[in-house]
Amino acid sequence: MGTHAQIGPLTQRPGKVVAVHLAYASRAAQRGRRPAAPSYFLKPASSLAASGGVAERPAGTELLAFEGEVALVVGEPARNVTVEEAWDHVAAVTAANDLGVYDLRWADKGSNVRSKGRDGYTPVGPGLIDARAVDPAGLRVRTWVNGELVQEDTTGPDALLFPFAQIVADLSQHLTLERGDVILTGTPAGSSVVVPGDVVEVEVDAPAAPGAPTSGRLVTTVTQGEVPFTDVGAGPRVDDTQRAEAWGSREAAGLEAPFELTEELAATLRRTPVAGLSAQLRKRGLDHAVIEGVLPLAPGTTLVGRARTLRFVPYRADLFAAHGGGYNAQKRVFDTVGPGEVIVIEARGEPGAATLGDVLALRAQVRGAAGVVTDGRVRDSEAVAATGLPVFAAGPHPAVLGRRHVPWDTDVAVACGGATVLPGDVVVGDADGVVVVPPHLVAEVAQAALEQEEQDEWVARQVAQGHGIDGLFPPDEEWQARYRASRGDA
């Protein structure tokens, strides 16, 4: 075997290497998603390497990332085993580094064949820990880059989303785990980018077990590849989203911090008329930012927040049977909406059924939601208004959503009242209706709208004093000069 084909401490070449996408709570918090069940991908056995080897960053790429992990080595074959039986099928534990090139993720769509399948991208070792000698919930994984500790987590119940026994049992119901197979159990927070010359070390140990067994430090040195990709298949492609995920955050990647709707900015928007925001957006070429046909249920209601989205599709009996009952998309978004967020519902302007009622409105209100906007109808409208939750809708309707709708998806682009709304867009409402503002324009259009409002109020005072509209509304150069003089501007 060549250097990259070595299998370190493994006693036989694995038939397969199975890796978990996301398994640690710390990593899930970093990524902003928490899966309900484990998901997996396969790595080729040719990616295995021993301690002391190298991992090559391919020519033309920039985002090679390390992932320190606990690796399980299968002993007895496992097929349809229970969670209680699963650990008996694990022979050993060791350290692994699940390396990957984020520049190639775009083409993999979760399979990670290109990004994580390269030679040398699954170093394991250097030693094995007897699985019988340790508690699977009592392990620790640590990673160092150039001698600096960058990852440290345990396998305790508060650390892992899915205990190792659950992972083994789940995999065994889909495929036979054979003697020597390797399972990579996911990485905690702290994974980041390495560059040629960096040295990555990973260690797995059991500090509380007798003798504190350890895998020893798994050492991998990053080198620079010289062979460029050709045009026979997908090549590298990178954007700021991939940079942020590879480095661990936008700040670590040297990118601008993500938009934050601060209390100060939200307060400014509450003072800014929706009509003024709409006018400013039109001046910037955004002619379809108004959510048509929606008004507040309660007079005097205003609304400011970041969009969470919910999409309904037209009722169809078989689809409703599959998606409409139980913990459906509608219930999920109302149950997870956060403080300052506005649930925006695409209901296609359907007048024949409601899209929410008082119980869901109360749930959103208790969770601190900033409000709800729907281009459909609202059931129990008086009770909904009484919750105090700002709700903008096309009006009331007594029928439940199953009459015309199927709750379909959340946190996707939606079309509400003729306006496209993306998750994270800023939504502002008042007595005139609701407008959607792209985050990067919020501060700019809010300031411009307030300045325009101040000028409009001055113009209104001139009209009240008897001045004619011609030349004043909108102000021509002469009236503009008078306005500036009234403000004391030079």
Binding-site entries: 357-360, 379-380
| Residue 456 near residue 330 (C-beta atoms within 8 A) | no
Question: Which residues are documented as binding site for substrate?
Answer: 357-360, 379
Distances in Å between the Cα of 4 and the Cα atoms of 195, 317, 361 are: 19, 55, 58
Element (H, E) at 321: helix 317-323
Compute the CA torsion angle 310, 313, 316, 318 (nearest 10 deg).
Answer: -50
Residue 167 contacts by C-beta under 8 Å, 6 or more apart in sequence? Answer: 20, 23, 38, 183, 185
User: Both tokens of residue 217?
Assistant: 């430090």
Angle ∠(98,100,103) on CA atoms, nearest 5: 165
Candidates 136, 191, 186, 130; CA nearest to 161 is 186
- How many whole angstroms separate alpha carbon 480 and alpha carbon 486? 10
The annotation places the binding site for Mg(2+) at 380
At a CB cut-off of 8 Å and minimum separation 6, what does 8 contact?
48, 49, 50, 51, 94, 123, 124, 125, 126, 218
The length of the chain, given as a count of residues = 490
Q: List, in order, residues 6 or more apart from 318 with CB less than 8 Å away.
A: none
Query: What are the φ/ψ torsions at residue 132 (nearest 5 degrees)?
Result: -70, -20
Distance CA 374, CA 349 (A): 8
